[in-house]
Structure 1
Amino acid sequence: MLSVTPIPAFGDNYIWLLRQDTSTEVCVVDPGDAAPVIEFLEREGLTLSTVLITHHHQDHTGGLPDLIQRYAPRVIGPANPRIDGIDEAVGDGDELRVMGRLFEVHEVPGHTLDHIAFFTAGIPPLLFCGDSLFSAGCGRLFEGTPKQMHASLTRLAALPDDTLVFAAHEYTLSNLRFALAADPHNPDVTQAMEECQRARELDRPTLPSSLGREKRINPFLRCADAGVRQAASSHGDTDSDQATFATLRAWKDHF
């Protein structure tokens, strides 16, 4: 049985920890800070065997030096020399076995050019998508283009609806505030806002979400929807799904 546990870091990061109930060896995804990982592992009597990295940003890789020195884990991530410590560089279509599950690598450029996501089929399917897909949102375009990000999100949206989405940040409430403006007549967004507000009041994560849910509440996955296009039309071009995405992303940047 594979379980996934969030380890909070900084103000709003989640470092996801993957664990099989029959082993004390674990995997973490995007350890931007080593300290909370070490604290969790020591408290639970666990050993770090694998690290997955989605992209080069410091809040996803900053803990690598200390974790490598302490545990010498296998470190898997994109082929980017800016990430010091990668043992196994992976790219689109590669497969790897982690914690007893077979993972597929999907290249999802947009937020950064080196961004990858890790997907494993099963019951349920799991997606570790870093800063590409958020609940009710998507990452800023620091390096990629709107065309690249739209294609990346379209690719992720084609995964099974019951896929659990483990994004790397607790941005859901701010994303939903934008979704209420970009998709104002969508009752699913209103319901999601109520549910997520309750979760945060109880200091609970709003993640994971599911792809099926994201297709109902995430305006960046709903660029073909007439209501989203109408709301975005006063902010830019909405003549195509890709143009609508670009308009939404620029609008969100200044929302």
Structure 2
Amino acid sequence: MSADGPEIRTFLCRSDNIGVLIRDPATGACAAIDVPDAEPVLAALDEAGWTLTDILVTHRHGDHVAGIPEVKARTGAKVTAPAKAGNAVPDVDRSIAEGDRVEVGMLEAEVWETPGHCADHVSYIFRNAGVAFAGDTLFTLGCGRVMEAEPETLWHSLERFLVLPDAMKVYSGHDYVLANARFALAADPGNAALQERMAEAERLKAEGGFLIPSTMAAEKATNPFLRAAEPDLARAVKLDPGTDPEKVFTALRAWKNRF
């Protein structure tokens, strides 16, 4: 990887999607993580003066891939997408699966299959650069809605993130931070660190920003879905402390669906 580390820009797409560009300053290679909409991605590239070389797709849902044809036509970027998405992602050049690696210049990412939100979901872990792109699997203070699996499947995907270093920055696919924070406080009201993060999220929102990226340290301390092993979260869903975290997570996710 580049000795200088990656350059990263985040911006809103559509109403609440997060657009992300990651660039290797050593080579000039630059990737978009998903393309929810072409216009904001192209505008961000123009503003930065960067040349797009790659599009890394996390999953096949339309709000993550709709802008790919226009952006590829304008930039010639290579599209990398989950093999399990089949033909649902347009203009794919390379299909990837668990254990594959992708490069953006000298930056290298591990491909993790992280199903639960949908069956084809992958996350890109740039371990040496200290950044992870979790798409709709892990959100700041939340997690994705389970759509094509049992809740346990998403829990096992989330468990993988728990082993990442505390300093790892995590970029999610949507800005659901305030809604997630309200639920987190309902589930974990005595968490002082969570109360501080809610205040920070509200301040950033008022300034036109968002609490993305997060860090694994912050998520381990405040995200109720990653804290399913904590006795307080078991009690919040009326389960005995010591209940299997998978069952606590399932109860939390069902509660969030109704929240």
State the TM bucket, normalised to the shorter chain. over 0.9
CA distance in 1, matches of 2:232, 2:49: 51
Match of 1:207 in 2: 212
CA contact (8 A) 1:232 1:238 kept: no
CA distance in 2, matches of 1:188, 1:42: 38
Give runs of aligned pairs for residues 87-166 of structure 1, distance below 5 A: 87-123=93-129, 125-166=130-171
> Cα distance, 1:7 vs. partner?
2.5
CA distance in 2, matches of 1:212, 1:254: 28
Match of 2:231 in 1: 226
CA contact (8 A) 2:30 2:104 kept: no
CA contact (8 A) 2:188 2:236 kept: yes
Deviations 1:168-217 (A, max 9, x none): 11111110100101111111110110111111111122111001110000
Report the count of equivalent residues.
Answer: 253
> Cα distance, 1:20 vs. partner?
2.8
Structure 1 gaps of 5+ residues are none
The one-letter amino acid of 1:104's match is E
225-234 vs 243-252, greater mean Cα deviation: 225-234
Q: Which secondary structure state, in structure 1, belongs to the residue aligned with residue 9 of structure 2?
A: strand
Please report the RMSD computed on the Cα atoms of aligned residues, expressed in angstroms: 1.7
CA contact (8 A) 1:106 1:119 kept: yes
Q: Is residue 27 of structure 1 aligned with residue 31 of structure 2?
A: yes
CA contact (8 A) 1:237 1:243 kept: no
Deviations 1:40-96 (A, max 9, x none): 223433321100000001110000111121112111110122112111111111112
Q: Is residue 61 of structure 1 aligned with residue 65 of structure 2?
A: yes
Q: Is residue 245 of structure 1 aligned with residue 253 of structure 2?
A: no
CA distance in 1, matches of 2:65, 2:54: 14
CA distance in 2, matches of 1:84, 1:146: 28
Sequence identity percentage: 35
CA contact (8 A) 1:24 1:45 kept: no
Deviations 1:85-108 (A, max 9, x none): 111111111112113211100010
Q: Which secondary structure state, in structure 2, belongs to the residue aligned with residue 250 of structure 1?
A: helix
The one-letter amino acid of 2:249's match is F
Q: Which secondary structure state, in structure 2, belongs to the residue aligned with residue 16 of structure 1?
A: strand
The one-letter amino acid of 2:164's match is L
CA contact (8 A) 2:138 2:172 kept: yes
The one-letter amino acid of 2:112's match is H
Q: Which secondary structure state, in structure 2, belongs to the residue aligned with residue 36 of structure 1?
A: helix
CA distance in 2, matches of 1:110, 1:5: 27
Q: Which secondary structure state, in structure 1, belongs to the residue aligned with residue 35 of structure 2?
A: coil
Q: Which secondary structure state, in structure 2, belongs to the residue aligned with residue 176 of structure 1?
A: helix
Match of 1:195 in 2: 200
CA contact (8 A) 1:29 1:51 kept: yes
> Cα distance, 1:126 vs. partner?
0.5
Q: Is residue 41 of structure 1 aligned with residue 45 of structure 2?
A: yes
> Cα distance, 1:25 vs. partner?
4.1
